[in-house]
């Protein structure tokens, strides 16, 4: 057991942070928390480990290539500016997040393509055999397909079949089974406030903790705490 004081600045850290045009990124990950996945594509350590675990299970995994992972704010600005010039405003607004609203700046998002891919903004990652194998495994390893066609009205981002976001297990499973987008999941979790009313899933309990100044909580050894980048934290507790 350990006692933790919840800090306001930590609301914007963790695997479950919501980053979109409304809830902007407030802190960039430390360089030391990033790892090279492949071909100069960097990801958050835990995200990178789990992505590798998925690919190990796919026979033709070398056909799947990482197109884009972590981006610094500067890289996001460059990408946005270049696209404005080359593709115009409509396209750019549809497919490229404005700096500090991009999940790529968290290190928790990966764009995947198929070998021979050269479209850096909209790589092809269809639901063919390989794409199906990947999607089938993704939620067991903490990933969700982040921008789906049926959620465009909420995410305000066009469907992106190539963009996967690491949120960690079991959140990835719940989101996928309930067909939520991350925005909906965070709304849903508000029904499960700490400490009385957990969301129970398999051998996990999940709680929402609204930020309160100087609030202290007792954490168990395997507990995981993530900010939601909105107003508080999500506690994930494994029940033995």
Of 160, 177, 183, 205, the catalytic one is 160
Show Cβ contacts of residue 14 under 8 Å, excluding neighbours closer than 6 positions.
225, 226, 227, 233, 234
163 vs 237, beta carbon nearer Zn ion: 163
The residue sitting closest to Zn ion, measured at its beta carbon, is 163
Identify whether the C-beta of residue 134 lies closer than 8 Å to the C-beta of residue 54.
yes
* Upstream peptide bond of 240 is cis (omega within 30 degrees of 0): no
- 149 among known catalytic residues: no
Residue 71 lies near Zn ion (rule: CB under 5 A): no
111 vs 145, beta carbon nearer Zn ion: 111
163 vs 173, beta carbon nearer Zn ion: 163
Q: Which of 163, 165, 173, 186 binds Zn ion (CB under 5 A)?
A: 163
Residue 186 lies near Zn ion (rule: CB under 5 A): no
Residue 117 lies near Zn ion (rule: CB under 5 A): no
CB of 75 to Zn ion, least distance (A): 13
* Helices H / strands E in the chain, number of each: 6, 12
With CB under 5 A as the rule, give the number of residues binding Zn ion.
2
Residue 151 lies near Zn ion (rule: CB under 5 A): no
Task: Give me the residues paired with residue 225 across strands.
Answer: 235
**CA distances from residue 118 to 16, 96, 112, 124, 131 in whole angstroms, order as listed:** 30, 17, 11, 9, 17
Q: Which of 111, 117, 145, 205 binds Zn ion (CB under 5 A)?
A: 111
Show Cβ contacts of residue 90 under 8 Å, excluding neighbours closer than 6 positions.
none
Residues labelled as active-site residues:
160
| Chain residues in the site for Zn ion (CB under 5 A) | 111, 163
């Amino acid at each position: 057991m350990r006692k933790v004081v919840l800090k306001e600045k930590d609301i914007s850290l963790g695997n479950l942070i919501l980053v979109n045009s409304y809830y902007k990124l407030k802190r960039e990950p430390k360089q030391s928390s990033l790892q090279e996945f492949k071909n100069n594509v960097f990801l958050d350590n835990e995200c990178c480990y789990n992505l590798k675990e998925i690919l190990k299970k796919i026979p033709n995994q070398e056909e799947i290539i990482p197109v884009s992972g972590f981006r610094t704010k500067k890289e996001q600005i460059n990408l946005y500016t270049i696209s404005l010039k080359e593709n115009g405003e409509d396209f750019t607004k549809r497919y490229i997040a404005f700096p500090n609203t991009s999940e790529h700046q968290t290190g928790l998002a990966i764009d995947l393509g198929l070998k021979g891919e050269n479209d850096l903004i909209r790589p092809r990652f269809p639901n063919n055999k390989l794409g199906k194998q990947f999607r089938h495994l993704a939620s067991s390893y903490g990933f969700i397909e982040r921008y789906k066609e049926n959620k465009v009205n909420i995410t305000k981002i066009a469907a992106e079949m190539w963009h996967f976001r690491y949120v960690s297990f079991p959140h990835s499973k719940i989101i996928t089974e309930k067909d939520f987008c991350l925005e909906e999941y965070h709304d849903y979790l508000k029904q499960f406030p700490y400490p009385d009313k957990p969301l129970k899933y398999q051998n996990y309990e999940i709680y929402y903790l609204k930020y309160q100044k100087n609030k202290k909580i007792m954490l168990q050894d395997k507990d995981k705490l993530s900010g939601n980048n909105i107003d508080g934290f999500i506690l994930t507790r494994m029940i033995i």
